[in-house]
Structure 1
């Protein structure tokens, strides 16, 4: 059921939850550009340090399945406030990591503790906003996530020579702590009630029922496989610019500056275009852009052209995954929508973790070959999408 809230309370919650989504994605994307320096500082290998991406994304994806039902039973407020506090604590602990093994373990813990923040925020918007008014808060949330991606991928590498990666995590932890204290001070603005609880058995039975439908399987498969593609490439972009152009940390940060910018600037426009022209038309274009950008990266490009290709890659993401999320909400009625979204988040972040590992495996054939294989993979998704989404979705 929907819970009424004062306009002022809703604006406060929107700001808090948008800030939380920003911080979740910022700290998530902070790590990939730091792989070269982490390898050096921990006297490890790129193969081991590269596990920092799946070590976070796979636990994150699995945990999203359970936080929705948990917040149904215990309430959105206590679960969300707890997770915000744990996110801050995990940042401080990561900064103290003495070995790569401890660093990876703490990334696993961080994935688990942050996995519920965005899904619970989406569920909370469903609690306090009527259906006809949910577009704006969700737009703000996804825009904040795109901003977190942009600043995380850029600042991670750029600030390291200035303050060091440990200080980056301390600073991020400080910002998360401020956010937690702010949310706790505004706890009265959180609705006190939540929808009826869902049992663990119902979580799996509902997921099973969803996956029995061909339309659902196709959509969730695309969420997963497109996540494999984008994460696999992004996780190694820092290594790419280091190897191809011998950039230092600040140079890598600047080269990645365009990643996430399309989502920040064009997110609302892409959503409006999807409503006007149909998601089944925009999604294949996004898949094609992703394939083209990665194919170009495999060839000898000038530095500025490679940075532009990274921006186009980001645009390909913004024209696919957010639109998939909108389609997921049409799979079920409102009473099961939260679980459908949670399952989508699970598939997406499992794809993120899998992609980094798969790309690393293909790198045994060389970086350029890995890029070409992933470009071909995304091109095949584009070709299948032309037919699948034309005939399966209105």
Structure 2
């Protein structure tokens, strides 16, 4: 092996480590507010359901700005856009720590969502550029370890910090983390060849996000993604609130239990290559539907917080099975404009989550959280089975 090959290998390895750090902090910022909802309800004097608006504003802004970051990444380079987005995340999170009122916090959460939109989806597109399809699902599963750990840390540590230093300190720490990772990612910008390809390509051959929507397959994948976001991760945003109000747990304890959703994802990420090889994608899809349905049912019917923890564990594992398959499909929908394709995928996933949280917030104040999970248990299991049927044949037949 030549010295240049060794250098390239080390460079790619270090770049992926930097992208993992970026994904960690972006994921932590996405779910940090979930555990803070009871504290926000207390400090600002609003109902538990109303606090969900802070989650919705983040998700909808996160979704909307995918339509901006995708084309920017195609033209100016994925790594450059990721570094810029990380700096914007640092500024937005610092601003949230200074929010004087709940309406201001909602606005600043939207700004944070707009900034974070340029991190994980563009990281996935960059990973897709540097890994063939045959091994990409395994790589994306390993990358999800970073984002899942970020989700868990955001959910648990935000509650612990809120109980000791107050909820504003959570956003100060996130801002510091984002600033540090931005400096690391910026070192790899010169390795991204996307800007050069854009300049050399003729105008007719340059990436065009609107052209993607002409494909019936792309529209179908995006529709399935929207439904998945609407039915699944949106309702898990209220688990910490349920634990706080129904079981009188501390925010730290509620965050730790909610983080079991991430533990389930880590279990899948660690076992993904073996599960895909032993079970095959079709039986793995059935397992995903069963785990999601059982997990949500456990949360709906559980009379002890241990049942809630078990439900989060099972639901997290089931969710990441189907999410991993859909992420892999998204990176292969349009290989010549992967940033646009993954950005549209993320737009639909988080638009679904934002709208789902908005509807779930209304149902929380009317039918209650257990009934909400009972309804979603049935709907999401049926959805996963339908999605898997649509994806499997296409994914297995795709060229590497």
Same fold (TM over 0.5): yes
Q: Flag the 1:32–1:106 CA change in 2: closer, same or farther, 3 A.
A: same
Q: Separation in 2 of the partners of 1:21 and 1:187?
A: 16
Q: Flag the 1:385–1:257 CA change in 2: closer, same or farther, 3 A.
A: closer
Q: Flag the 1:274–1:61 CA change in 2: closer, same or farther, 3 A.
A: farther
Which sections of structure 2, spanning at least 5 residues, go unmatched?
none
SS of the aligned residue for 1:97 comes to coil
Q: Flag the 1:38–1:202 CA change in 2: closer, same or farther, 3 A.
A: same
Q: Residue in 2 aligned with 1:338?
A: 339
Work out which of the residue numbers 21, 24, 40 in structure 2 matches 1:22.
Answer: 24
Pairwise CA distance, 1:227:
1.5
Q: Separation in 2 of the partners of 1:139 and 1:372?
A: 29
Q: Residue in 2 aligned with 1:240?
A: 242
1:191 equivalent in alignment to 2:192: yes
| Contact 2:260 2:312 (C-alpha < 8 Å) held by counterparts | yes
Work out which of the residue numbers 121, 124, 138 in structure 2 matches 1:122.
Answer: 124
Work out which of the residue numbers 159, 171, 195 in structure 2 matches 1:169.
Answer: 171
Q: Separation in 2 of the partners of 1:337 and 1:179?
A: 23
Q: Flag the 1:382–1:167 CA change in 2: closer, same or farther, 3 A.
A: closer
Q: Separation in 1 of the partners of 2:85 and 2:325?
A: 27
Q: Which moved more, 1:172-181 or 1:33-42?
A: 172-181
SS of the aligned residue for 1:247 comes to coil
Q: Residue in 2 aligned with 1:297?
A: 299
Q: Residue in 1 aligned with 2:233?
A: 231
| Contact 1:291 1:379 (C-alpha < 8 Å) held by counterparts | yes
| Contact 1:294 1:374 (C-alpha < 8 Å) held by counterparts | yes
Pairwise CA distance, 1:301:
2.6
Q: Residue in 2 aligned with 1:353?
A: 354
1:208 equivalent in alignment to 2:213: yes
Pairwise CA distance, 1:209:
1.4
1:61 equivalent in alignment to 2:63: yes
Pairwise CA distance, 1:204:
4.4
Pairwise CA distance, 1:226:
1.8
Work out which of the residue numbers 148, 167, 180 in structure 2 matches 1:146.
Answer: 148
Q: Residue in 2 aligned with 1:182?
A: 184
SS of the aligned residue for 2:261 comes to coil
SS of the aligned residue for 2:213 comes to helix
| Contact 2:82 2:185 (C-alpha < 8 Å) held by counterparts | no
Q: Separation in 2 of the partners of 1:270 and 1:319?
A: 8
Pairwise CA distance, 1:296:
2.0
Pairwise CA distance, 1:127:
4.4
Q: Aligned-pair RMSD on alpha carbons? A: 2.7
Which sections of structure 1, spanning at least 5 residues, go unmatched?
none
The number of residues matched between the two structures is 386
Pairwise CA distance, 1:51:
0.8
Q: Flag the 1:133–1:279 CA change in 2: closer, same or farther, 3 A.
A: closer
**TM-score of the superposed pair, with normalisation by structure 1:** 0.88
Q: Separation in 1 of the partners of 2:143 and 2:190?
A: 18
Pairwise CA distance, 1:147:
0.9
The superposition leaves residues 252-286 of structure 1 with CA deviations (integer Å, 9 ceiling, x where unpaired) of 12222312113224314224423554333322321
| Contact 2:140 2:328 (C-alpha < 8 Å) held by counterparts | no
The 5 A counterparts of 1:313-392 are: 313-332=315-334, 334-363=335-364, 364-382=366-384, 384-385=386-387, 388=390
